[in-house]
Amino acid sequence: MRPARVSTTPQEVEAYEMSAPRPQPRPGVLQIQAYVPGKSSAPGLAKVFKLSSNESPLGASPKAVAAFRSVAETLHDYPDGSATALREAIGQAFGLDPARIVCGAGSDELLNLLAHAYVGPGDEAIHTLHGFLVYRIATLSSGGTPVVVPETNYTADVDLILRAVTERTRLVFLANPNNPTGTYLPFDEVRRLHAGLPPHVLLVLDAAYAEYVRRNDYEAGIELVATSENVVMCRTFSKIHGLAALRLGWMYGPPHVVDAINRIRGPFNVNAAAIAAGVAAMQDTAHVERSVAHNTRWLAWLSEEIGKLGLEVTPSVANFVLIHFPREPGRTAAEADAFLTRRGLILRQVGAYHLPHALRCSVGSEEANRLVVESLRDFLDGKAP
């Protein structure tokens, strides 16, 4: 007897799984496509430049590394569950009340906690078409419905976002600057977005790349959070501070939101080594300034030199560039990715972000940046990898 055909659409698969006599995840979980990080290796090559995850080419502050090592003698002790020293260091650096800061295992954890606190079945959370993949995952895992809004020129469009708001909207996620496009909204536009939202909707400003922005019309959102009841700002130590391996982030928000997140986060969600390294990194402003200077120089150089090759580069204010490729055989993004990988250059495919004809390239060391341009030139000229 032939077995019955198994349906393959996500909705049919979920319905089938949910009908089986065994423990079941909540509705929406099986619709999630697990987050796939950028690849990090090229087998068979002695030297590889990983430009797929927007990591700092300068690495962590030596002071942060020393602080990390100092924790080795006390690994038997639980960390401070409130991350007091870290919240105070952040507060001192930005002039903020530490009581309004929550630290997390990367900003990813905080984004998920916000969804879990404010989104449930029947609720909606808005994000833009090319927005960070975690927004959709966090919404679905909380039982909510993600609402995807188109962008204009790879940039969030305030009017389109406001048009998508309904009585079921609970969160609006806005990455500013956005990953993977590198575009941003001037702060006047962010204010206009906030002004158009109902009071019950929480605006989540994801400012992971804020330190890299050199535009006079940009603000990360601190003032708006300080003067509003429905805005939070999330930041990370993974980018400018070079602490990606430690998974460390922070959120600044109104007291009532901070209270809600503290009620549901893990009691020791930030480890002791991350706290110590984070304090040292926050205090080492000279290292941050070197990282910003390096990025400012090479972001402009990469954008200009890749553009000279005839490839479109979306103007970026972050620490990466989005490179668009032709769709003709022999010059596609997928073929370019394979060519560059054979040269030891690992870039990020962004098909999951609805950008199948583009690659995202982090700003790397001078050697890596020059090799990217040289290799792209060879690829377009049809040379062997």
Nearest to 178 by CA among 222, 133, 138, 209: 209
pLDDT for position 342: 95
Of 251, 283, 315, the residue at which a domain comes to its end is 283
Token code pair at residue 110: 């905080």
Same domain, yes or no: 327 and 265:
no
pLDDT for position 321: 98
Q: Is 42 within a domain? A: no
Same domain, yes or no: 215 and 128:
yes
pLDDT for position 24: 81
C-alpha 348/C-alpha 104 separation (Å) is 26
CB 350 within 8 A of CB 360: yes
pLDDT for position 110: 98
- The CA-based dihedral angle spanning residues 204, 208, 214, 218, taken in that order and rounded to the nearest 10 degrees: 0
pLDDT for position 26: 76
pLDDT of residue 4 exceeding 80, the answer is: no
Residues 6 or more apart from 116 whose CB is under 8 A from it?
A: 138, 141, 142, 264
pLDDT for position 31: 80
Of 283, 313, 341, the residue at which a domain comes to its end is 283
pLDDT of residue 3 exceeding 50, the answer is: no
C-alpha 170/C-alpha 217 separation (Å) is 28
pLDDT one-digit tens code per residue, 235-267: 999 999 999 999 999 999 999 999 999 999 999
Arithmetic mean of pLDDT over the chain? 94
**Residues of the chain above pLDDT 70, percent:** 92
Same domain, yes or no: 273 and 307:
no
Same domain, yes or no: 352 and 233:
no
pLDDT one-digit tens code per residue, 17-41: 666 688 887 777 878 777 677 666 6
Average pLDDT over residues 206-228: 97
Backbone angles phi, psi at 361, to 5 degrees: -125, 120
Q: Is 14 within a domain? A: no
Task: Residue 82: give the domain boundaries.
Answer: 62-283
pLDDT of residue 1 exceeding 60, the answer is: no
Residues 6 or more apart from 285 whose CB is under 8 A from it?
A: 93
Q: How far is CA 201 from the centre of its chain?
A: 21
Number of structural domains found in the chain: 2
pLDDT for position 30: 79
Per-residue confidence at 8, pLDDT binned at 50, 70, 90? Answer: low
Q: Is 30 within a domain? A: no
pLDDT of residue 76 exceeding 90, the answer is: yes
pLDDT one-digit tens code per residue, 162-183: 999 999 999 999 999 999 999 9
pLDDT one-digit tens code per residue, 117-161: 999 999 999 999 999 999 999 999 999 999 999 999 999 999 999
Residue 378: HSE in the Cβ half-sphere, 13 Å Cα cutoff:
15
The CATH number of whichever domain residue 180 belongs to comes to 3.40.640.10
Nearest to 240 by CA among 253, 232, 249: 249
pLDDT of residue 2 exceeding 50, the answer is: no
Average pLDDT over residues 336-344: 97
C-alpha 213/C-alpha 295 separation (Å) is 10
C-alpha 321/C-alpha 336 separation (Å) is 15
Same domain, yes or no: 326 and 275:
no
Of 237, 262, 283, the residue at which a domain comes to its end is 283
